[in-house]
Amino acid sequence: MKRLEEKHALITGGTAGIGLETAKQFLLEGAQVAVTGRNEDSLKAVSEELGSAVQTIKSNAGNIADQTKLATQLSNTFPKLDVVYINAGDVTHKPLEDWDENNFDQVINTNLKGPFFLIQALLPMLSDSASIILCGSVSARIGLPQSSVYAASKAGLISLARTLSGELKDRGIRVNILSPGPTQTDALEKFGLAKEEENALREEIKNLVPLKRMGTTIELAKAAVFMASDESSYMLGAELLIDGGVGNL
């Protein structure tokens, strides 16, 4: 039997990078999968690549009203929800003096406020053995310059995994954190750097990692499969670091 057979899973931010690879791995393990994204073209591309096996839903993770709409839409197509992987995130990094209130609110809304209200909206759908996986970051454990607001939002999620686990454990619902380290995705391309600067930044990041390389999306997706499956049934309010040693060495 496949590890996620008969499970229904939601992945936010599932149109690229870690989210997309996780969707593929969940499908291989037998899950029925829904993914969200903000961009219609990206959602269309996922539908073309993965076919009707995946339900695509347009949703902005930082828009609170969208979280209620998402829950309603899912309830019309899924009988229950066994896995929630809150992967969507805003990775904005900038110096302290460059932040303004709008930028700050955008990161916090996407990375912390939105996830909180999505979980609230999904409560009636969650099965009594549901696994909620929150995407943290090793940045919450280190003092990386320019990561202030991003790292704070992820630290909030780590705390949320513990407090919500305490609140939901009597229903059998588990909330845990999957925290990536530097991972090879297109996230750096969104910084708007010249190619030479982007390549230099990649090398700088690699040098921060004790294993001297960036992680891969498949490494994170395989960890998500474990956390979504019954194999992690004794894991509660915990953080799984897949970070090449950044947070420990």
Are 57 and 34 a contacting pair, CB within 8 Å? yes
**Which of 88, 134, 150, 214 does the annotation list as catalytic?**
150
Q: Does the pLDDT of residue 186 top 80, yes or no?
A: no
Task: State the pLDDT at residue 203.
Answer: 87
* Assigned domain for 44 exists: yes
CATH for 83: 3.40.50.720
Cα 99 to Cα 146: distance, rounded to the nearest angstrom: 10
What one-character DSSP code corresponds to residue 183? B
Task: Assess whether 234 carries a catalytic annotation.
Answer: no
* Assigned domain for 202 exists: yes
| pLDDT band, very low/low/confident/very high, at 201 (cuts 50, 70, 90) | confident
194 shares a domain with 127: no
- Give the residue numbers spanning the domain of 193: 188-214
**Residue 12: how many CB atoms within 10 A of its CB?**
26
Tell me what the mean pLDDT of segment 12-41 comes to.
97
Cα 109 to Cα 90: distance, rounded to the nearest angstrom: 9
Q: Residue 172 is which amino acid?
A: G
Query: What confidence tens digit (pLDDT) does each residue in 53-86 have?
Result: 899 999 999 999 999 999 999 999 999 999 999 9
* Assigned domain for 168 exists: yes
Query: What confidence tens digit (pLDDT) does each residue in 75-126 have?
Result: 999 999 999 999 999 999 999 999 999 999 999 999 999 999 999 999 999 9
Query: What confidence tens digit (pLDDT) does each residue in 114-159 have?
Result: 999 999 999 999 999 999 999 999 999 999 999 999 999 999 999 9
Task: State the pLDDT at residue 205.
Answer: 84
Give Cα 144 to chain centroid, integer Å. Answer: 20
Task: State the pLDDT at residue 191.
Answer: 62
| pLDDT band, very low/low/confident/very high, at 227 (cuts 50, 70, 90) | very high
Give Cα 79 to chain centroid, integer Å. Answer: 23
Q: What percent of the chain has pLDDT over 70?
A: 98
Residues facing 86 on adjacent strands: 12, 134
* Assigned domain for 2 exists: no
